[in-house]
Amino acid sequence: MEIEAVRGDITREKVDAIVNAANSSLLGGGGVDGAIHRAAGPGLLEECMELRRTELPDGLPVGEAVPTAGHDLPADWVIHTVGPNAHRGETDPALLASCFTSALRVAADVGAGTVAFPAVSAGVYGWDVADVARIAVDAVRSYAAAQDGRSTVEEKEDAAAGTAQGSDAGAGAAHAAISAPAVGDNQVRLVRFVLFDDRALEAFERALG
């Protein structure tokens, strides 16, 4: 997986999916959330309202992710995730890491091979951007390692099935594939962090090394 950081406007990214730093209502807000809703047009709000009526009557929980169409955006998909709010005492790094891994899993499941992220929870949610950068990069790299590991397991499964059809060896390889770390159904090839200012860009560049 290629991982990079750029300064820019995430609503203009020509990738398969962009990630929205949403609030739990999914009905739009300020910052990145508001910008994405404005650029996507009214169809995005209508789709989010339908999600609230059906699958998510209580809203989207912190750390989880859900996809919608991109509507008027260049991206085919918007993947909404709710970051932890430090002002409400939500300071567990695992919650923030889950935003990135959950969004990547959803991206893979919908077939999005290229994904753009904002600095989830930086800004109004009170997390220091340097901490967000470190946690985000670590989470994406962990997902990439799990994705690569699953591919290796599946290659071994195919080889085992080819040489031992119906044997215990083939069954063992199948079990190994099932118990591999949870990643999406397809490969994510590119993650691009799209940052709103030079300070955020520098923080992500440092985290990327």
Quick check: is 158 catalytic? no
| Residues in Cβ contact with 25 at an 8 Å cutoff, skipping those fewer than 6 apart | 52, 59
How many whole angstroms separate alpha carbon 55 and alpha carbon 50? 8
Q: Cα separation of 136 and 62, whole Å? A: 15
Q: How far apart are the C-alpha atoms of 51 and 6, rounded to whole Å?
A: 31
Name the β-bridge partners of 79: 19, 67
Strands 114-117 and 190-195, how do they pair? Answer: parallel
Question: 18 and 78 in contact (C-beta within 8 Å)?
Answer: yes
Catalytic option among 33, 92, 109, 138 = 33
CA–CA gap between residue 60 and residue 81 (Å, rounded): 8
Q: Which of 172, 170, 175, 146 is nearest to 158 (CA)?
A: 170
Let me know: does 105 contact 68? Beta carbons within 8 Å: no
Contact 82, 64 (CB under 8 A): yes
Catalytic residues: 33
